[in-house]
Amino acid sequence: MASSQFIYLNGQPILESEVLSYGESGVVIHREGMAIKTPLKHPWSSEADVQMNMEAIQREQEAYRRFQSSEKSRVDCIVPCIGLLPDAIQLAYMERGDLRSYLQNQRPPIYAQLLWCCQMARALEQAHDHCVLVGNIATRNFLLDSDLSIKLCGLSEASILPLGTPMETVDDNGFSIHTDIGQLGAVMYEVTTGQRCDWDLFKDSLPDDSRATWPARVSLPSTGRVWLGPIIEKCWTPSGFQNAHCLLRELISFVPLLEAIDRAVQRVLPWT
């Protein structure tokens, strides 16, 4: 079998057929029914690069330890962690892959769009309840299971804050629950329109400035004709939602409207 461009930390090649995905700091392989995330390493990688990628994996491990050890409610909208190894994370294998790839080939019905948005908001709610800022939220970081339920992954850029941190006021170098909600608004825009939205926290920053900054509204697309436009617009407004709980409640409020539309359509269908 052909080798991929990646190798394990011990120098052994990773087979191309094993690779599920990869990002800036990690590569995910499919083995023994699990998705195993390991630090990204090429044959030409420097020791400094590998060490930086290892630190990203360790940060993600810390987030999963927080979710597993907390006495708070069950975390069911984040990809389950099966085990933590010294240099890898064993995750549940999500059969349908990432949301971005799915949206390139499928146009989900409006009910599915709303369900996914609720599940994504719930994932954010669960992370924030455990004092974790996600930091990097995009359609590629949401995975679909065999039943098309959606779960959050990709926590290598997360900020794991002390338990008891007042999450509604925390500012971690520009990152906050509000920047997480803003990024989720961009994901919801992509889900509801099929078009990508670049919600870049560093677009207006100086080259040597690592602080995240809220993107200017003019850099974002119009939501005027988007069916969840008012909610997305609030996501893109600083402190538009007090927290992810408020976002989830507003999304759920759309359920009766969709049910009413469905009943109306069913009444009309026999005569169309």
| CB distance 108 to 117 below 8 Å | no
> What value does the mean pLDDT take over residues 33-47?
94
> What value does the mean pLDDT take over residues 217-223?
94
pLDDT over 80 at 39, yes or no: yes
- The pLDDT > 70 percentage for the chain reads 92
Interior/surface letters 25-38, b for 16+ CB within 10 angstroms, e for the rest: bbbbbeeeebbbbb
| CA Rg value for the chain | 20
pLDDT over 90 at 202, yes or no: no
Query: Where in the chain are all domains bearing CATH 3.30.200?
Result: 16-92
pLDDT over 80 at 102, yes or no: yes
| CB distance 190 to 196 below 8 Å | yes
Question: Quick one: CATH architecture of 97-269?
Answer: Orthogonal Bundle (1.10)
CATH code: domain 16-92 is 3.30.200
> What value does the mean pLDDT take over residues 200-226?
86
Q: How far apart are CA 167 and CA 144, in angstroms?
A: 28
Query: Where in the chain are all domains bearing CATH 1.10.510.10?
Result: 97-269
Per-residue pLDDT band for 254 (boundaries 50, 70, 90) equals confident
- The pLDDT > 90 percentage for the chain reads 79
On average, the pLDDT of the chain sits at: 91
Per-residue pLDDT band for 266 (boundaries 50, 70, 90) equals low
Q: How far apart are CA 59 and CA 156, in angstroms?
A: 6
- Which pLDDT belongs to residue 178? 98
pLDDT over 60 at 144, yes or no: yes
Say what the pTM is. 0.91
Per-residue pLDDT band for 206 (boundaries 50, 70, 90) equals low
